Chains A and B, each alone.
Chain A
């Protein structure tokens, strides 16, 4: 009997069994870490853009309120339109608010896309690559709705 076992038997509250290598590797890294970062960056970037838009609006007009609706465009048209304005340096509070919303909507979309790549290339799991591709295809279709 090894020394470690003797110590364990004497201890009335033995520590939890150590993580086996299988426990640590089971579907975890690097897939989950990558997904976590995509979600975090997307949400923070979106919040930053929205906050800039609203704060700028407040400096210019003394109030935060911006009222307008988006009509008759799907998300991809919306994104293209806003990126074009940004490239033309047509900056105004509305542009930041719109970009913030576009980034937010694209965050889960990119997360699914990244999951698909990781299931395919890193985990080499055909079953889950197919599942993820289905989700991505449906989302792509819906974002073209108008």
Chain B
């Protein structure tokens, strides 16, 4: 049996990092839980439940601050939930080593993508395609760090949608929010400002995680006694992380995840290779 205080401390730390990055708590939680001896499938299942708490908790604050773009969120959720169902169904029948390997690869891939674009500043998309215009993905928000109102319009939704299926697939498969990947699609493909990407990704993650959770619930992989302290811990950590995010600039946030992602990715990959 896992020690309750250890479970709680791991969960608080995971929630904090997850909210800061918009990734959801799972990316830190799952490697940490497997390190203290939990089976990876159970860790994935517990994690995806806690991801609902983290993302919903953070999303509630962002949505009320009017940073989140609900239309972008609803459009992309159509794709992520189908991906999450597929992914979770694969994990239930998969063996364990590929899950470690895939987890490591996804983390390192995310790291590389974030690292390569770390100095890029957001520039609005010049030409918005007809489909995106039809979807009406405009928005505006007040940026506290810059002290001004930012207006923008989402573009290339025809590519963003299908790519979000893949993000949902990874989320369901590995029990994570896959927020970093979602943020990347928002930033690079759809041209949303970084804060809108992070917060809208948070909203999408909750629904995506629910789709994955229902598969794990049906498979009997969710243990409420373990899930309870993890949900509380991750939720508390996420609350603290959210309070900080609104005040920090984009660069500080990015630099922070880069280090965390690299360490965790390497660790999972090594364990997948060693078996």
Contact = CB atoms under 8 A, between A and B. Distances in A.
B268 interface: no
Contacts of A80: none
A70 B63 contact: no
B220 A27 contact: no
Interface in A65-92: 65-75, 78
Contact of B151 (A23, A105, A128): A23
Interface stretch (B77-85, B102-110, B182-190, B250-258): B77-85
Contacts of B142: 19
A97 B139 contact: no
A51 interface: yes
B56 A43 contact: yes
A97 B52 CA distance: 16
Contacts of A139: 81, 207, 210-211, 214
B85 A142 contact: yes
A37 B1 contact: no
Contacts, number: 182
Contact of A54 (B75, B138, B232): B232
Nearest to B135: A127
Given A54-B229, A71-B220, A39 B60 contact: yes
Nearest to A144: B214
Interface stretch (B23-31, B33-41, B64-72, B114-122): B64-72
A23 B232 contact: no
A135 B138 contact: no
A119 B71 CA distance: 10
Contact of A107 (B206, B217, B226, B232): B206
Q: How large is the interface on B (under 10, 10 to 19, 20 to 34, 35 or more residues)?
A: 35 or more
A106 to B, nearest CB: 9
A26 B139 contact: yes
B121 to A, nearest CB: 18
Contact of B225 (A35, A68, A109): A68
Given A43-B235, A70-B217, A131 B75 contact: yes
A131 to B, nearest CB: 5
A56 B68 CA distance: 38
Interface in B218-254: 218, 220-229, 231-232, 235
Contact of A108 (B139, B206, B223): B206
Contacts of A135: 74, 77-78, 81, 207
27 contacts: A17-B149, A33-B64, A35-B70, A37-B60, A40-B64, A50-B228, A50-B231, A54-B232, A63-B4, A68-B225, A70-B217, A70-B223, A75-B217, A78-B217, A97-B225, A98-B224, A100-B231, A101-B227, A101-B231, A104-B49, A105-B210, A111-B206, A127-B135, A134-B78, A135-B74, A142-B211, A146-B218
Interface of B: 1, 4, 49, 52-53, 56-57, 59-61, 63-64, 66, 68-71, 74-75, 77-78, 81-82, 85, 135-136, 138-140, 142, 147-149, 151, 203, 206-207, 209-211, 213-215, 217-218, 220-229, 231-232, 235
